[in-house]
Structure 1
Amino acid sequence: MKHQTRLTAVLLITTFLIGIVITGFTSIPKASAKESVSLSNTTNFDDPIAVIKGMIQAINDQDPYEYMNYFTNSNRTAMTQFLSTNKSESFFKEKEAKLIQIKELPKEVGVVAADISPGENLNLDDTRVFYAEINFKVDKEDKWLYNGTNYRVIVVTKEDGNWKIVRLSVPSIEYLKDTGNGFNSKDENIAVKIESTLERKGQVMNMKGVVIDNIAATEEQLKDEK
């Protein structure tokens, strides 16, 4: 239960930050970007990994409209609304992205890792969960996104016969390693240390071991809670 408790807390925060638009916002959409959302002509939507790769390519192209193509209708509606009401805002936090490794998780592990609840009305027979190791380049690092290798759980589901991304979130990496579903890479071990330091000390570290933020409660805040 240790992992699941922490995971739920992480997802509650990341759902607020990236659940509506899935990713962050930091680069102004290109003037030449398409202003309509239609299926990409080059992506095979019968292949969920091809869909994930298409999403990553859209980040590299800094094209929010192409990016939307890879998500479910409800996500696309929220993203379109953001773009229409925040025209002076930027869209991507990520400047560059490279998929390093990806694997499909066993259904029972994926449901826990992605915190899929019965109330979400997802048909699990038409839902697949992937664990991805992605290298990001960003201008501003935070506790969920930093330069170097990041880890994401990506949930894809069938919509109108096509695989679409319904959720992209930050998992408990320790949980995935403990269940034998980790990548066992050097960077993943560093990410576990980052995760553990955040949980135990409230210190936000990046891949270089530099503390970039401290979200631990102050003594005054702890007194107020008593």
Structure 2
Amino acid sequence: MKKEMLINVRQAEECRIAIVEDGVLEELYIERTSQNNYVGNIYKGKIVNLEPSIQAAFVDFGVGRNGFLHISDVEPQYFRQGGYDPKEMEREEAERNSGNGNGNRRRRFSSRPRVKPPIQEIFRRGDEVLVQVIKEGVGTKGPTLSTYISIPGRYLVLMPALGRVGVSRKIDDDDVRRKLRDMLLELNPPKGLGFIVRTAGTERTRKDLSRD
């Protein structure tokens, strides 16, 4: 596999970085010095408004414009605030997706349960929430937020809400995936935290993953 990093800084106000594998663009990063970039940043915010009609909350996280938090980006730990049991909801969703009525199992899994309680039953105005910016605001719209925190390293991605170990979907070799998952489990990751092995960690040793 041939992997290249291409960097373009021809224009002083913009830097572009592309990750190419075997001639195929895998990742693209663009940073503009002329504007503030909040994507990836993590903030402790406060709920300032709730819109049940669109199942979203608006969050003041200290940058001047309120962020947009949709119910689909609210992780289960917050369900307890509304009196819901997140584990029970995940079990119900797993049972619902376990078959399609013909005895065939669906090969589909997500750490986020699709069925969620109404956002107005989870949050109240003034509630504090830990959020990460996942998309910059456009025009008059504020940035898009998520409570699913993701912190990337060189070889691993820390995902506190995941609660398990996994391997990037881009790594499609079953033997390699099994090997990497076993290596992670041997490291005894802290209980309750989730880790995903990135494609860059494919040929790394257990020591490399441990350092990351």
- TM-score when normalising by structure 1: 0.22
Greater RCO structure (CA 8 Å; 6+ sep): 1
- TM-score when normalising by structure 2: 0.23
Larger Rg computed on CA atoms: 2
